[in-house]
């Protein structure tokens, strides 16, 4: 059985004080949520406040990006060792907003994934097609290409330590969720790639999360799909009560 990962990506929202206030409400609501891993990925400047606030609970903290280099002249970047030292356990890699606005490519996704693994972090590697790509009927081609160039050069040992998130770009922040069937179909495409490259044990073990307009009222039908092993939630993870109800779907 794959243990679900219920992850929140706060994007560029919340100050440290707001982070502390979030966890004061959120923590008691997920105290007994042993069915899953609960992860919050706040902005870098909130990592310390978040790690402080979750101490002694099962909640884990992640970064939203990670440098591929260990250290050096990389203005504005944060290394895996720094993220680890801050007390985080996860790092989102290759989010579509980074691909769209900050020049992230499959090559840099791969390098950042390696950096996360080297630092002892669990990378949540994001893939997903844009609306124009879905409309052109090339969703599978896009997913295969993102997998081949951004993931498939990992060794089997490295691959065993990652989590994949399928986030169709057209469903992010738009209120348009992929139907559970559409999401499951995309997850099966990704699993097909995993099978071809890493074999059946890896297919059985890899956790593939769905992201894109996940809300308290649609999480249950998404999680009912055996292909979906958790969610990566943007907007709806900012509210402690709402995100707790997602975690406790
Ligand atoms: P929304 O849940 O706001 O659509 O964002 C999804 C997302 O990008 C999570 O990484």
Q: For residue 177, what pLDDT is reported?
A: 84
Query: Residue 102 and residue 22: Cα distance in Å, rounded?
Result: 28
pTM over 0.95: yes
Our answer to whether residue 24 is catalytic in this structure is no
The DSSP line for the chain is -PPPEEEEE--S---HHHHHHHHHHHHHHTTT-TTSEEEEE--GGGHHHHHHHHTTSS-EEEES---SSSSSS-TT---HHHHHHTT--EEEES-HHHHHHS---HHHHHHHHHHHHHTT-EEEEEE---HHHHHTT-HHHHHHHHHHHHTTTS-HHHHTT-EEEE--GGGSSSS-PPPHHHHHHHHHHHHHHHHHHH-HHHHHH-EEEEESS--TTTHHHHHTSTT--EEEESGGGSSHHHHHHHHT-
What was the pLDDT predicted at 178? 87
236-to-52, 158, 213 alpha-carbon distances in Å? 22, 31, 8
- Beta carbon of 64 within 6 Å of any ligand 1 atom: no
**Does ligand 1 come within 6 angstroms of the Cβ of 212?**
yes
Radius of gyration of the chain (CA): 17
**Closest to 53 measured CA to CA, from 45, 63, 61:** 61
Question: Alpha-carbon distance 212 to 171, whole Å?
Answer: 5
**150 pocket-lining for ligand 1 (C-beta < 6 Å):** no
Question: Which residues make beta-bridge pairs with 41?
Answer: 9
How remote is the CA of residue 199 from the centroid of ligand 1, in Å?
A: 30
Q: Is ligand 1 within 6 A of the CB of residue 233?
A: yes
If we measure between CA atoms, which residue out of 226, 213, 145, 138 comes closest to residue 179? 213
**Contact by Cβ (8 Å): 148, 127:** no
The finding on whether 123 has its CB within 6 A of some atom of ligand 1 is no
Q: How far is the CA of 171 from the centre of ligand 1 (A)?
A: 8
Testing ligand 1's pocket by substitution, the residue of 11, 124, 238 carrying the most ligand atoms inside 8 A of its CB is 11
Domain coordinates in residue numbering, the chain:
5-247
pLDDT of residue 175: 85
Catalytic residue among 37, 133, 167, 227: 167
Whether residue 9 has its Cβ less than 6 Å from ligand 1: yes
Q: Is the CB of 213 under 6 A from ligand 1?
A: yes
Q: What is the pLDDT along the chain (249 residues), one digit of tens a residue?
A: 899 999 999 999 999 999 999 999 999 999 999 999 999 999 999 999 999 999 999 999 999 999 999 999 999 999 999 999 999 999 999 999 999 999 999 999 999 999 999 999 999 999 999 999 999 999 999 999 999 999 999 999 999 999 999 999 999 988 888 899 999 999 999 999 999 999 999 999 999 999 999 999 999 999 999 999 999 999 999 999 999 999 999
- Annotated active-site residue 181? The verdict is no
Rounded to an integer, what distance in angstroms lies between the CA atom of residue 72 and that of residue 171?
36
Nearest CA owner, ligand 1 atom 9: 234
- Residues 5-247: name the CATH superfamily: Aldolase class I (3.20.20.70)
**Of 37, 95, 187, 227, which is the active-site residue?**
95
């Amino acid at each position: 059985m794959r243990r679900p990962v219920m992850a929140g990506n706060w994007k560029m929202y919340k100050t440290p004080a707001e982070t502390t206030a979030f966890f004061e409400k959120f923590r008691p609501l997920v105290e007994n949520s042993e069915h899953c891993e609960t992860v919050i990925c706040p902005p870098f400047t909130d990592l310390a406040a978040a790690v402080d606030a979750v101490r002694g609970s099962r909640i884990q903290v992640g970064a939203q990006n990670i440098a591929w280099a260990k250290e050096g002249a990389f203005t504005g970047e944060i290394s895996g060792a720094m993220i680890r030292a801050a007390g985080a356990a996860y790092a989102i890699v290759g989010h579509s907003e980074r691909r769209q606005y900050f020049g992230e490519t499959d090559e840099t996704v791969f390098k950042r994934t390696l950096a996360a693994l080297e630092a002892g972090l669990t990378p949540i590697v994001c893939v997903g097609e844009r609306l124009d790509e879905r409309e052109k009927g090339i969703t599978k081609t896009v997913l295969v290409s993102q997998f081949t160039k951004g993931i498939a050069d990992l060794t089997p040992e490295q691959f065993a330590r990652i989590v994949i998130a399928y986030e169709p770009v057209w469903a992010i922040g738009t209120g348009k969720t992929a139907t559970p069937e559409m999401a499951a179909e995309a997850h099966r495409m990704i699993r097909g790639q995993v099978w071809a490259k890493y074999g059946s044990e890896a297919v059985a073990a890899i956790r593939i999360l769905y992201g894109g307009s996940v809300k308290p009222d649609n999480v249950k039908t998404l999680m009912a799909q055996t292909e979906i092993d958790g969610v990566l939630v943007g907007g709806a993870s900012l509210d402690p009560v709402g995100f707790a109800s997602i975690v406790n779907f």
